[in-house]
Amino acid sequence: NAGVMQNPRHLVRRRGQEARLRCSPMKGHSHVYWYRQLPEEGLKFMVYLQKENIIDESGMPKERFSAEFPKEGPSILRIQQVVRGDSAAYFCASSPPVFGARRYEQYFGPGTRLTVT
Amino acid sequence: GQSLEQPSEVTAVEGAIVQINCTYQTSGFYGLSWYQQHDGGAPTFLSYNALDGLEETGRFSSFLSRSDSYGYLLLQELQMKDSASYFCAVRSSGGGADGLTFGKGTHLIIQP
């Protein structure tokens, strides 16, 4: 059973360009979360999505950042007009559609390391 | 808001036992999770405590005291491969959100 997949693993963008990060959740998982991690820091929650719905985007910057999880295909985190401060590791996680404690087990992908030059 | 406090670094000897503490401040507490992350790797789920007490999974155990807003992760029979960062996390506030708020992590150094 494949785990959470993210691509690309490394992405270099110049200031002002757009970055698109993709995430395919584990098979059978319908909940997707995006997190950002700066060096020597914990992960910061950005957005929580289910298929075709944004459930909670309270951690998402108000401008330049958007996320989607279409009916078909991977979840996409899009950063427009990137700036140097966007350089970070972006992790996607998924969890199964069950109730109880297992719902809080989040399975993380390998991350996308974004470097803005 | 949410905040979690954990030591930035802990050093222990191979074969020993180590405890990593976590205190938290949060509204609407749902449970405390622990994750392991090796350098350059993805966080890996270790445990989840919703109720007071100790949960044991092999060499790792996790404890929660809701009245003290405190938990810890206990690692026994330490192995060199346990060298990693360990994060405690709580579910984010309000609105049914399931996103996690993480502490800054504890870097565990294992010495031979």
pLDDT higher at A99 or A74: A74
Q: Which of A40, A44, A101 sits opposite B50 (nearest CB)?
A: A101
Tokens of B16: 């020993």
**Per-residue pLDDT for A1 more than 70?**
no
Best of A6, A106, A112, A113 to disrupt the B interface (most B CBs within 10 Å) is A106
- Tell me the one-letter amino acid at B32: L
At A96-108, the pLDDT tens digits run 876 655 667 889 9
pLDDT in the model for residue A6: 97
B102/A42 touch (CB, cutoff 8 Å), yes or no: yes
Q: Average pLDDT of A6-11?
A: 97
A59/B91 touch (CB, cutoff 8 Å), yes or no: no
Best of A6, A45, A91, A105 to disrupt the B interface (most B CBs within 10 Å) is A45
- Tell me the one-letter amino acid at A2: A
Size of interface A-B (CB pairs under 8 A): 79
B87/A103 touch (CB, cutoff 8 Å), yes or no: no
pLDDT in the model for residue A117: 96
DSSP string, A39-89: TTS-EEEEEEEETTEEEE-TTS-SSSEEEE--SSS-EEEEE-S--GGG-EE
Of B52, B59, B67, B58, residue with least CA distance to B19: B59
A42/B104 touch (CB, cutoff 8 Å), yes or no: yes
What is the distance between the alpha carbons of residues B6 and B90, in angstroms, rounded to a whole number?
A: 13
pLDDT in the model for residue B14: 97
Q: Which residues from B are below 8 Å from A110, CB to CB?
A: 41-42
Let me know: does B23 contact B30? Beta carbons within 8 Å: no
A41/B92 touch (CB, cutoff 8 Å), yes or no: no
pLDDT in the model for residue B96: 45
Residues of chain B with confidence (pLDDT) below 50: 94-96
By C-alpha distance, the chain A residue nearest B46 is A105
What is the distance between the alpha carbons of residues A9 and B110, in angstroms, rounded to a whole number?
A: 29
pLDDT in the model for residue B20: 98
pLDDT in the model for residue B95: 40
Q: Which residues of B touch A (CB under 8 A)?
A: 4, 30-31, 33, 35, 41-45, 48, 50, 87, 89, 91-92, 95-105
What is the distance between the alpha carbons of residues A83 and B49, in angstroms, rounded to a whole number?
A: 39
Let me know: does A49 contact A69? Beta carbons within 8 Å: yes
At A13-65, the pLDDT tens digits run 999 999 999 999 998 888 899 999 988 788 999 999 998 899 889 889 989 99
Residue A55 burial by Cβ neighbours in a 10 Å radius (0-12, 13-18, 19+):
middle
pLDDT in the model for residue A97: 75
pLDDT in the model for residue A102: 60
pLDDT in the model for residue A98: 63
pLDDT in the model for residue B75: 97
DSSP-assigned beta bridge partners for residue B38 = none
- Tell me the one-letter amino acid at B74: L
